[in-house]
Structure 1
Amino acid sequence: MSAQIEEAAADPAARISRGGAPPPRRGRVAAGTPYLLILPAALVTVLLLGWTMVRNGLLSFQDLGRRQLIRHLTEWIGFDNYSEQLGSSDFWKVTARSVVFTAANVVLIMALGCLVGLLLARLGTKMRLLLSLGLVLAWAMPVVAATTVFQWLFAQRFGVVNYLLDKLGWHSMADYNWTSSQFSTFFVVTVLIVWQSIPFVAINLYAATSTIPKELYEAASLDGAGSWKQFTSVTFPFLKPFFLATTFLEVIWVFKSFTQIFAINEGGPDRLTETLPVYAFVEGMGNQHFGTGAAISILTIVILLALTAYYLRLVLKQEEDEL
Structure 2
Amino acid sequence: MKDTLVSDGPEVTPSVRPQSDDGGAEAARRRKKLVTLTRPWLLLTPSLIVLVGLLLWPLIQVGKLSLQDYKVKFGGGEGTYIGFDHYKDLLTGDLLWKTVLPNTVFFALACVGLTVVLGTLVALLLNRLGPTWKLICSVSILAAWAMPAVTGTYVWIWLFSPEDGMISQVADSVGLIDAETTNWFTERLPFYGIATINVVHHGFPFVAITVLAGLLTIPKELYEAGEIDGANAWQRFWRITVPSIKPVFLVVTILSTIWDFKVFTQVFLMPGGSGSNPDVYNLGVYSYIEAFAKNDYGTGAAAAVLLTLLLLVITIVYIRTLFRQGEEDL
Q: TM-score range by the shorter chain?
A: 0.7 to 0.9
Does 1:75 find its partner at 2:80?
A: yes
Tell me which amino acid in the other structure corresponds to 2:298: G
Tell me which amino acid in the other structure corresponds to 2:282: T
CA contact (8 A) 2:114 2:200 kept: yes
Tell me which amino acid in the other structure corresponds to 2:62: N
Residue 160 of structure 2 is aligned with which of 137, 145, 154? 154
CA contact (8 A) 2:290 2:299 kept: yes
Secondary structure class of the residue paired with 1:156: coil
Structure 2 partner of 1:11: none
Listed one character per residue, the Cα deviations across residues 251-309 of structure 1 (whole Å, up to 9, x for unaligned) are 11110000000001243663111110011111111111001100110011111111222
Structure 2 partner of 1:163: 169
Secondary structure class of the residue paired with 2:306: helix
Residue 289 of structure 2 is aligned with which of 282, 287, 295? 282
CA contact (8 A) 1:65 1:291 kept: no
Structure 1 partner of 2:197: 191
User: How many aligned positions are there?
Assistant: 303
Structure 2 partner of 1:120: 126
Structure 2 partner of 1:200: 206
The structure-2 alpha-carbon separation of the partners of 1:32 and 1:227, relative to structure 1 and needing over 3 Å to count, comes to farther
Q: For structure 1, which segment, 110-119 or 68-77, has the greater mean C-alpha deviation from structure 2 after superposition?
A: 68-77
Does 1:88 find its partner at 2:93?
A: yes
Listed one character per residue, the Cα deviations across residues 131-181 of structure 1 (whole Å, up to 9, x for unaligned) are 101111110011111111111111113212122333445462466321121
Structure 2 partner of 1:270: 277
CA contact (8 A) 2:68 2:82 kept: yes
Identity %: 39
- 2: distance between equivalents of 1:303 and 1:260? 20
Secondary structure class of the residue paired with 1:313: helix
- 2: distance between equivalents of 1:72 and 1:105? 39
- 2: distance between equivalents of 1:50 and 1:208? 34
Q: Structure 1-normalised TM-score?
A: 0.85
- 2: distance between equivalents of 1:147 and 1:38? 38
Structure 1 unaligned spans of 5+: 1-15, 17-21
- 2: distance between equivalents of 1:80 and 1:190? 34
- 2: distance between equivalents of 1:36 and 1:188? 48
TM-fit CA distance, 1:114: 0.5
Larger Rg: 2
- 1: distance between equivalents of 2:152 and 2:40? 38
Tell me which amino acid in the other structure corresponds to 2:216: S
Secondary structure class of the residue paired with 2:112: helix
Matches within 5 A, 1:174-253: 176-253=182-259
TM-fit CA distance, 1:315: 3.2
Q: Structure 2-normalised TM-score?
A: 0.83
The structure-2 alpha-carbon separation of the partners of 1:70 and 1:80, relative to structure 1 and needing over 3 Å to count, comes to farther
Cα RMSD after superposing both structures: 2.7
- 2: distance between equivalents of 1:289 and 1:78? 15
- 2: distance between equivalents of 1:247 and 1:211? 19
CA contact (8 A) 2:71 2:79 kept: no
- 2: distance between equivalents of 1:232 and 1:153? 37
TM-fit CA distance, 1:42: 3.1
